[in-house]
Structure 1
Amino acid sequence: MRFLSPAFAMLLLTTPAHAQCGGDFSAFVTALKPEIRAEGLTARQVDGFLAGVTQDARVLRADRAQSFFRKDFIEFSRLLVSQNRMQAGAANLAKYRAIFDRAEAEYGVSRGVLTAFWGLETDFGAFQGDYNTRDALVTLAHDCRRPELFRPQILAAARLFARGDFDIAGVGAWAGEIGQVQMLPIDIERNGVDGDGDGHVNLRSSPADALLSGARMLQSLGWRAGEPWLQEVIVPEGLDWSKTGLETQLSTADWSERGVRAREGSLARGLKASVVLPMGRKGPAFIAYPNFSVLFEWNQSFAYVTTAAYYATRLLGAPAYQPGTPDPLLSLEDMKALQRALAARGHDVGKVDGILGAMTRTAVQKEQMRLGLPADAWPTLELLRKL
């Protein structure tokens, strides 16, 4: 389900731009051997790591699809934050209380956030993916679309294999994420925690290892202990919509002066925050604190991150959001037409895929401002017609 983390971009600094890809798959695997050997593995370990490796066509199809992320926030969040997930989340919060106590004490990461990702990524470990992780990584590194992102993951997986923490027969997500909270090999290598004290980091079968590793990773990405991440708000009709969105941060005092108020309780004091409108000014409204942005290092999808953050607040007692009456999401073809129109006007919307991602939202808001429309970053047929 996950999009690849922006943290992957850092790998570009350490991976040769000319890294081999494409061509005969067997030759590609053979060429990998000296590179893996240079990581300190013995020849026998290299052969063991690559034994039986195969190209997985399913991985390539999954990499090019991801249609799940074309749903709007209300549909997406209602599908993912089901009553069953609410009940299972509450049960696991109670069952693993000691582990969550430790995660909060040692890494400062909220139990609500950890439980939300645990639930959304794998239904609390029940389904961790059905792609062979080693084969998925080698397949994606061989594919010439993004080899610089996946080749380092192969090397990290090989290093984990050498120390007994990677099973070449193990399965996970199509992009190589492993275990109950779906972490990539490099993230496991850097942030893996032996939470149950058995001498190994096993994110597949050990909730303690998985949850504490996830907490340590979020801390390393900049999670700020004791601070909120998302809160539902009520916004006035006369708000300057151009100030909404993650690109604008104001103090909570400034937002209060502009008429933004918490639906329950009060806004956190002394923090910068953004007002986010997942479906425009007529839909749900939230205030996003600095910790919210950290979650994009886990997943790039705006709808997914907002849903996970919202689910975390629900697990800790927040009510269901007020859906409002937003304009419907554009059809797939209309969204693609909009992206092409935005690109023609010089906006970088990334791939024309019909997905309302962060770059498309930013471009929509800029064009709404230019055209004198309410600049709430929600695309409408009116905007499409004007473009």
Structure 2
Amino acid sequence: MTLRFSPKIAATALAGFWLATAPAQAQQCGGDFRQFLAGVKQEAIAKGLSANAADQTLAGAQVDRKVLSRDRAQGVFKMTFLDFSKRVISGYRMKNGAANMKKYASVFQRTESEYGVPAPVITAFWALETDFGAVQGDFNTVNALATLAHDCRRPELFRPQLIAAIEMVQHGDLDPRSTTGAWAGEIGMVQMLPEDIIKFGRDGDGDGHVKLKESAADAILTAGAFIQHLGWRRGEPWLQEVKVPQNLNWAESGLDKTKTGAQWAALGVQPRWGQISGNLPASLLLPQGRKGPAFLAYPNYSIYLEWNQSFVYTTTAAYFATRLAGAPVYTEGNPDLGLDDAQMKQLQSKLSSMGYDVGKIDGILGSGTRNAVQQVQQKLGMPADAWPTPELLRRL
């Protein structure tokens, strides 16, 4: 399940840019499609790949108009944390997550031993991305990558991915005719782009290949290697539900502010399960304000933001992993009514006119809008929990 144009693009975009052999090559796009592919072939050969692999990959490549349509009309993610998490963390996924952690216990043990990433973390991504491999996407991968590389919106990202697909064909790990995946080129049970598969792909079942579409063992081990690369800290927590006192200074909440666990505990923040990690820095997350669920986000939470930049998806994936690790269901609380799409855009427009940087006026409660809301709440003497309400909009 891709909630923006690519779950891992945030982690790969800059790498894709700098790995291009030269800026001119990285930006070649548009024009006659066959001439464009000929240029890709020459670049692949210059990188040491075989002409045969390039021909095998590119000979049948076509522009996929459905890919361009998806890219031009990316759905915006506007669900609240409670709505989204209740929708995607189903009994089915909890049951199958536990079953898969048991079925592949030895692979998960190996993954944690080598990369430090525990089974629930990988399993939550596996569930949310593809329902444990059941829904991996039906777009031809080479066509998707060739289409997006030829298009001139982000050639610096997708041209290197197309070159990487040629390398996968040369290794025997991608069939240009039959390999399918997400519309933005991600492949397999945990939806990864070709460059990342080449760098972090691991053969978990010992067959000499990395087959993320068919092999759960390959997917698990590869995900572990990739998450470690993103900066995962072995043996540390990532998210913990907490109870917060009503007299807390809400302006101290948010991802841009941290205290040690011990400092939060001294302010009256209490764990709903387990123990607060006293020496670790943590941020207090209030996805729907002070009256909704509350979490301490430890350093490993930042890895989720590398995987996907959506705050709601990220927090849901991290929370789902805690559930798979044994945490109870969160306490929903009784959050204040939020804003609908039109109201959110109205709020963003107002904040922007006041000089706050909320980014695009898109109706999405992103980090810029949250920060602006929190600052305005402070100025108005309202609880500064960064949750926009009709009352805030009225006051403005």
TM-score over 0.5 (shorter chain)? yes
Q: Does the residue aligned with 2:99 lie in a helix, a strand or coil?
A: helix
Q: How does 1:140-151 map to 2 (within 5 A)?
A: 140-151=148-159
Name the CA shift for 1:381/1:208 in 2 (closer, same or farther; >3 Å): same
1:331 and 2:335 are equivalent in the alignment: no
The residue that corresponds to 1:78 in the other structure is: 86
Where do 5+ consecutive residues of structure 2 fail to align? none
Name the CA shift for 1:261/1:218 in 2 (closer, same or farther; >3 Å): same
Name the CA shift for 1:22/1:281 in 2 (closer, same or farther; >3 Å): farther
CA contact (8 A) 1:39 1:159 kept: no
The residue that corresponds to 1:152 in the other structure is: 160
Q: Does the residue aligned with 1:313 lie in a helix, a strand or coil?
A: helix
1:356 and 2:365 are equivalent in the alignment: yes
CA contact (8 A) 1:114 1:215 kept: yes
For 2:39 and 2:381, the matched residues in 1 are separated by 57
For 1:346 and 1:164, the matched residues in 2 are separated by 54
Quote the offset at 1:133 in angstroms.
Answer: 1.4
Quote the offset at 1:58 in angstroms.
Answer: 2.1
Question: Which of these residues, 33, 40, 47, is aligned with residue 25 of structure 1?
Answer: 33
For 1:341 and 1:31, the matched residues in 2 are separated by 48
For 1:24 and 1:336, the matched residues in 2 are separated by 40
Identity %: 56
The residue that corresponds to 1:61 in the other structure is: 69
Quote the offset at 1:65 in angstroms.
Answer: 3.9
CA contact (8 A) 2:337 2:390 kept: no
Q: Does the residue aligned with 1:70 lie in a helix, a strand or coil?
A: coil
The residue that corresponds to 2:270 in the other structure is: 261
For 2:80 and 2:133, the matched residues in 1 are separated by 26
Name the CA shift for 1:281/1:123 in 2 (closer, same or farther; >3 Å): same
Q: Which amino acid is 2:299 matched to?
A: P
Quote the offset at 1:63 in angstroms.
Answer: 2.7
Higher deviation after alignment, 121-130 or 61-70: 61-70
CA contact (8 A) 2:44 2:50 kept: no
Q: Which amino acid is 2:234 matched to?
A: A
For 1:51 and 1:350, the matched residues in 2 are separated by 41
CA contact (8 A) 2:263 2:278 kept: no
Aligned residue pairs: how many?
A: 387
Quote the offset at 1:206 in angstroms.
Answer: 0.6
The residue that corresponds to 1:40 in the other structure is: 48
Q: Deviations over 1:244-272 (max 9, x none)?
A: 11111110011011111101232113100
The residue that corresponds to 1:10 in the other structure is: 14
Q: Deviations over 1:324-378 (max 9, x none)?
A: 1112332122222222333333333333322222232223223323333222121
Quote the offset at 1:216 in angstroms.
Answer: 0.7
Name the CA shift for 1:368/1:55 in 2 (closer, same or farther; >3 Å): farther
Higher deviation after alignment, 168-177 or 251-260: 168-177
Q: TM-score, normalised by structure 2?
A: 0.92
Quote the offset at 1:309 in angstroms.
Answer: 0.9
The residue that corresponds to 1:246 in the other structure is: 255
1:107 and 2:115 are equivalent in the alignment: yes
Q: How does 1:214-363 map to 2 (within 5 A)?
A: 214-363=223-372
For 1:22 and 1:374, the matched residues in 2 are separated by 51
Q: Which amino acid is 1:140 matched to?
A: L
Q: Deviations over 1:283-324 (max 9, x none)?
A: 111111111111111111111111111111111211111111
Q: TM-score, normalised by structure 1?
A: 0.94
Name the CA shift for 1:155/1:341 in 2 (closer, same or farther; >3 Å): farther
Q: Root-mean-square deviation (CA), in Å?
A: 1.8
Quote the offset at 1:2 in angstroms.
Answer: 4.3
